[in-house]
Structure 1
Amino acid sequence: MRACSLPLIALLTSGAVLPAHAGELLINGGFESNGGAGSSLFTGWTLATEAGSGGNWYAQTGASSPLNGLPVAAPPGGSFAAMTDDAGPSSQALLQSFLLPGPGSVTLSFDYFRLDATNGGDQPLPPPPDSLDYNTLNASGQINQQARVDILTAGAAAFDLGAPVLFNALTTTPNDLTTSSCFPSDCSYQHLSTDLTAFVGSAGTYQLRIAEVDDIGPFVFGVDNMSIDFEANSSSAPEPSSILLLVGGLGALACAARKRSRR
């Protein structure tokens, strides 16, 4: 009996027999892997900028914006955040494709920061037009100054709107007041968490996009701790208890077979 029980115990206590039941689908969601402060290189992310843009996404650290040195909140996780800054009108997007391995629950969460120094910082953002082109005005002829976070189809282009947008997690609105001075007490990172299951609940490849557009004055938009967490349905991923029962049954059969062979 002892010869059978030891291998069985080893199997039951080995983490190798238990598959992961949940997991992170993004790479470098904290933006810590980058080309250095002020660079526009982020491991795992694709950068897109509209032709003629005067700004970009940058690896930001400390309490100043990466290009204009505006006062901003420090990254909430680690040493770096991804942040936009500009010296002129611009449209820029960070994108990452992710693979959903099967049916299950999917949660998007992240921290975001905004600072709009337009018009001295005392005006609300205008209603954004349905476009990520910095040259496009809204219906009232106002500037395009906005930031948004979207889940896109696998084949969507960097600045697509409409049908390729499966879910919009965040869009700045006219109620987002601007400020030219920022302090942690009144202008800090905000946390957002939302359930994506109804929009990307089946296996396949999707894209996460973080886009920012500004047409007049610096509009700083920062993101950090980007996460898409996946948890498989119980029907598609066996519970650990079920696996242990299966392994235990196989172990018992192995023991019985060994006893018969010794007779």
Structure 2
Amino acid sequence: MTSSARHLLSLLIAPVLAMLLLAPAHAVPSLSNGGFEAGLSGWTTADQTGSDGTFYVQSGILSPASGSDVPAPPQGTSAAMSDAGAPGSHVLYQDFVASAGNATLSFQLFIGNRADAFYTPATLDFSTPELNQQARVDILTTSADPFSVMAADILITLYQTNIGDVLVDGYFTVSQDISALLAAHSGETLRLRFAEVDNVFISQMGVDNVRFESNEIPEPALSLLLGIALLALVATPARWRNQRR
């Protein structure tokens, strides 16, 4: 092999070997029953004292308590959905252990606000004298009250309704890279919370297909890159020899 070929060999293989050697082997966090095909198993519900309704298992195209028109679950036959016939504040959450790695958290939501608008005071208390008609998704510390909206308790807000949003919408996908959060809290137990409150009129929050996904290049793909580089190198000297004849 000529010096030029050896130089090309190093240029092709070195970056791929670096990727193979430096690629982290972190597993993404795991959630139980993110598709709700096992009902609400693995999840915890919390309802403010005095609330009507809760989070239920949704199937079909009618909401579980009020019988409002809703879309069918987007994955499988079941989703989770808050519903009631009177005011209330409802939370659905699951704890998970953060692990350092490149990961995205995604989920599908249905928002069914049957009032005339969203009202978003800084509280999940339905009994406040203020109009309160909103939904949100956060990652909290596990020491926080399930209904807390204090900045010290919320590590990241993944979704929140705002005044002027479409009132009935979904199911739609929310996806966010949370790699930095996982790295900052690696080894800690954190809480993923879905919350809905209504004191104006009936509202639903549907949740489905909740999952963590790795953003890292899988090792088989890196190995494939190395294989392609080696094949190119095998072919290169022969091609050069043919060109020199």
TM category (shorter chain) comes to 0.7 to 0.9
Aligned residue for 1:28, secondary structure, equals: coil
2:141 is matched with 153
CA shift digits 1:12-52 (9 cap, x unpaired):
xxxxxxx9754451110111111xxxxxxx11111111001
Looking at structure 1, the residues matched to 25 and 103 of structure 2 have their Cα atoms a distance apart, in angstroms, of: 15
Question: Which runs of 5 or more structure 1 residues have no equivalent in the other structure?
Answer: 1-18, 35-41, 180-186, 242-263
Any residues of structure 2 matched to 1:114-263 within 5 Å, and which?
Answer: 114-118=111-115, 123-126=116-119, 128-137=120-129, 141=130, 143-162=131-150, 163-179=152-168, 187-202=169-184, 203=186, 204-230=188-214
- Residues 30 and 226 of structure 1 are in contact (CA less than 8 Å); yes or no, is this contact kept in structure 2? yes
5+ residue gaps, structure 2: 1-23, 224-245
Distance in 1 of aligned mates of 2:134 and 2:41: 25
Separation in 1, partners of 2:28, 2:103: 10
For the aligned residues, what is the CA RMSD? 2.4
Give the TM-score normalised by the residue count of structure 2.
Answer: 0.73
- Alignment match, 1:53: 51
Q: How far apart are the structure 2 equivalents of 1:116 and 1:100? A: 33
Task: Report the CA distance between 1:240 and its aligned residue.
Answer: 8.3
Aligned to 2:35: 30
Q: Is the 8 A contact 1:104 1:233 kept in 2?
A: no
Match of residue 77 from structure 1: 75
2:97 aligns to what? 99
Aligned amino acid, residue 136 of structure 2: R
Aligned AA for 2:34?
A: G
Choose the corresponding residue for 1:86, options 84, 100, 104: 84
Q: Quick one: distance in 1 between partners of 2:55 and 2:126?
A: 15
1:71/1:25 CA distance change after superposition, 3 Å: same
Contact 1:149 1:168 in 2 (8 A): yes
**Cα displacement (A) at 1:156:** 1.6
CA separation in 2, counterparts of 1:71 and 1:197? Answer: 37
The 1:164/1:50 distance shift into structure 2, 3 A limit, reads same
* Matching residue's letter, 1:226: V
1:201–1:233 distance in 2 versus 1, CA, 3 Å: farther
Residues of 2 paired with 1:24 and 1:30: CA distance?
16
Letter of the structure 2 residue corresponding to residue 216 of structure 1: V
Shift of 1:106: 2.5
Aligned residues between the structures = 196
> Distance in 1 between the 2:149 and 2:217 partners?
31
Paired residues of 1:59 and 1:66 also in contact (CA < 8 A): yes
- 1:88 Cα offset (Å): 1.0
Contact kept, 8 Å, 1:23 with 1:231, in 2: the verdict is no
Provide, for residues 31-83 of structure 1, a one-character-per-residue CA deviation record: whole Å limited to 9, x for no partner: 1111xxxxxxx111111110010111000000111111111110000000100
- In 2, are the aligned partners of 1:108 and 1:229 still within 8 Å (CA)? yes
SS at match of 1:111: strand
Shift of 1:124: 2.3
